[in-house]
């Protein structure tokens, strides 16, 4: 096993450029869970000591979350949107949240990753760096499928960025599991909602996780919510086709049950947003 601990982004990028077969590790929570991975047979680049990758900042209307930021840090950053903080607080146990990182979770690309639906609903982008330069991709273009991402072998995910929601925006995250306490999601949903002065939907973003190979935004459903009053939303959700979803069947749920849970999670998230808007609660 060859192990290198980088202390700067430049050191990490130079090491990856020298040998793109090396694997990046930070929190290590996904690596330990991968039964196919034999640590002694891999070349490792440890980025856990790069302070620049652990910053959570807001500037010029944008939020920037360093890829090595722990989920517990996200959960405790009170000015971040509610949906993202709630999703961060739902990631595993406290031990996992303290150790596991946002960037590692995105690169692992699990269909049931808690953080992905809220980030999609916030129009998040990823920043990818190499010795060749820096590029940005919308998160939905970065996530190609289960365990598949658009990350070149010599690239490092360095940050996640999204526009800071407007003051009138409300966000919510709902996670459906098969038991109480720390558990993997069966299905989850995140919503960003803005109500107009006449109490109709002015803007909406809806994302669903666990019901397809990757979490998905639901643009057709979002369009159907516009200009609607709160009392009409349940019928719209109940009647939506959700054709974009392709839920699997396994020991945890049938495809039909996952579709049912998706409707339930979306409606609950919408309800949270509407109630917060009615009481003047800030999205951040």
Please report the pLDDT score of residue 248 as a whole number. 87
pLDDT at residue 129, as a whole number: 98
**Mean pLDDT, residues 65-70:** 98
**Domain membership flag for residue 284:** no
87 within a domain of the structure (yes/no): yes
Domain boundary among 107, 129, 163: 163
Cβ count near 160 (within 10 Å):
26
pLDDT tens for 144-156 read 999 899 999 999 9
Using one digit for the tens of pLDDT, what is the confidence trace for 78-137? Answer: 999 999 999 999 998 999 999 999 999 999 999 999 999 999 999 999 999 999 999 999
* Domain end marker among 111, 134, 163: 163
4-25 pLDDT, tens digit each: 999 999 999 999 999 888 889 9
Q: Is residue 84 within 8 Å of residue 102, measured between CB atoms?
A: no
- Residue 160, pLDDT above cutoff 70: yes
- Pairing between β-strand 43-46 and β-strand 2-5 as defined by DSSP bridges: parallel
Residue 189 domain flag? yes
SS3 204: strand
> For the residues 190-217, what does the mean pLDDT come to?
97
Q: Which of 116, 141, 163 is the last residue of a domain?
A: 163
Q: How confident is the model at residue 281 (pLDDT cuts 50, 70, 90)?
A: low
CATH number at residue 216: 3.30.390.50
Residue 37: pLDDT band with limits 50, 70, 90: low
Chain length of the chain: 284
Same domain for 178 and 274? yes
How much is the pLDDT for 121?
98
Same domain, residue pair 244 and 151: no
pLDDT, averaged across the chain: 93
Q: Are residues 59 and 198 in the same domain?
A: no
Domain identity same for 151 and 61:
yes
Torsion of Cα atoms, 22 then 23 then 24 then 29, to 10°: -160
71 and 116 fall within a common domain: yes
Determine the structural domain holding residue 211 and report its residue range: 169-278
Q: Are 267 and 185 in contact (CB under 8 A)?
A: no
Cα separation, 269 vs 272, in Å, equals 5
**What whole-number distance in Å separates Cα of residue 185 and Cα of residue 188?**
6
Q: How many domains does the chain contain in total?
A: 2
Backbone angles phi, psi at 267, to 5 degrees: -65, -40
Whether pLDDT at 181 is above 80: no
| 215 domain-assigned | yes
283 domain-assigned? no
- Rounded to an integer, what distance in angstroms lies between the CA atom of residue 92 and that of residue 236? 33
pLDDT score, position 219: 97
Residues 98 and 141 placed together within one structural domain of the fold: yes
DSSP assignment letter at 152:
-
Share of the chain above pLDDT 70, in %: 94
- Based on the fold, state whether residues 159 and 189 are members of the same structural domain: no
User: Checking DSSP bridges between strand 23-25 and strand 43-46, what pairing results, if any?
Assistant: parallel
Residue 6 and residue 97 share a domain? yes
Residue 36 has pLDDT above 70, yes or no: no
């Amino acid at each position: 096993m060859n192990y290198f601990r980088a202390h700067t982004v430049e050191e990490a990028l130079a090491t990856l450029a020298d040998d793109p077969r090396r694997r990046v590790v930070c929190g290590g929570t996904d690596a330990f869970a991968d039964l196919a991975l034999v640590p002694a047979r891999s070349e490792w680049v440890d980025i856990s000591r790069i302070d620049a990758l652990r910053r959570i900042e807001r500037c010029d209307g944008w939020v920037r979350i360093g890829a090595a930021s722990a989920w517990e840090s996200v959960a405790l950053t009170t000015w971040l949107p509610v949906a993202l903080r709630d999703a961060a607080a739902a990631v595993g146990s406290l031990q996992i949240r303290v150790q596991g990182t946002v960037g590692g979770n995105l690169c692992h690309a699990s269909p049931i990753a808690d953080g992905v639906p809220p980030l999609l609903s916030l129009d998040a982008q990823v920043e990818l760096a190499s010795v060749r330069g820096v590029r940005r991709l919308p998160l939905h273009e970065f996530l190609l499928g289960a365990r598949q991402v658009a990350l070149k072998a010599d690239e490092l995910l360095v940050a996640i960025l999204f526009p800071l929601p407007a003051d009138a925006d409300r966000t919510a995250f709902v996670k459906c599991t098969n038991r109480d306490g720390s558990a993997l999601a069966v299905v989850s949903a995140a919503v960003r909602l803005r109500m107009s002065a006449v109490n109709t939907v002015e803007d909406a973003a809806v994302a669903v996780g666990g019901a397809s190979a990757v979490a998905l935004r639901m643009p057709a459903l979002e369009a159907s919510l516009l200009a609607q009053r709160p009392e009409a939303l349940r019928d719209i959700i109940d009647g939506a086709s959700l054709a974009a979803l392709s839920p699997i069947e396994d020991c945890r749920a049938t495809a039909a049950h996952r579709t049912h849970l998706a409707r339930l999670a979306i409606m609950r998230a919408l309800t949270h947003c509407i109630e917060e808007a009615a009481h003047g609660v800030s999205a951040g």
